[in-house]
């Protein structure tokens, strides 16, 4: 499959890894929008959060189990934001489910 994040998970495209386990791969965003900007992806190809169901939700659970560890490792002691964009209206550009972990400063109260 021609998927950028599948290629990153497989190591065919280099990335700055910050966390990995059986279900999860996390790496630095190439175009950070905050001092800390990590992308957290399932090691199975899911197109977006819109494809999550009972057959694959273990991956999402594993991602959310990893988030506090990744945040602590990044020094985010004062909070952070987790975002996932879905589809055209959500401005999703890479069609492999990913969660943005953003922090290292005060963010906008606006969500859009």
Is 96 considered catalytic here? no
Q: Pick one of Zn ion, ligand 5GP, none as the site partner of residue 31 (Cβ within 5 to 8 A by kind).
A: ligand 5GP
Query: Is 104 near ligand 5GP (CB under 6 A)?
Result: no
**What SS3 state is found at 24?**
strand
Distance CA 110, CA 3 (A): 31
Binding segment for ligand 5GP among 23-31, 59-67, 69-77, 102-110 (CB under 6 A)? 23-31
The CA–CA distances, whole Å, from 55 to 42, 46, 51, 66, 84 equal: 13, 11, 10, 20, 20
Query: Is 6 near ligand 5GP (CB under 6 A)?
Result: no
Q: Pick one of ligand 5GP, Zn ion, none as the site partner of residue 92 (Cβ within 5 to 8 A by kind).
A: ligand 5GP
Rounded least distance, CB 77 to ligand 5GP, Å: 24
Cα angle 22, 15, 51 (rounded to 5 degrees) comes to 55
The residues annotated with a catalytic role in the active site are 98
């Amino acid at each position: 499959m021609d998927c950028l994040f599948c290629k990153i998970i497989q190591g065919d495209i280099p990335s700055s890894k910050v966390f990995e386990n059986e279900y999860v791969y996390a790496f630095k965003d190439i175009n950070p929008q905050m001092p800390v900007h990590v992308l957290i992806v399932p090691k199975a190809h899911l197109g977006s959060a819109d494809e999550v169901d009972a057959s694959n939700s273990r991956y999402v659970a594993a991602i959310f189990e990893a988030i506090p560890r990744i945040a602590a490792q990044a020094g985010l002691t004062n909070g952070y934001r987790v975002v996932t964009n879905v589809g055209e209206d959500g401005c999703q550009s890479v069609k492999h489910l990913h969660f943005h972990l953003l922090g290292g400063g005060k963010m906008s109260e606006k969500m859009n």
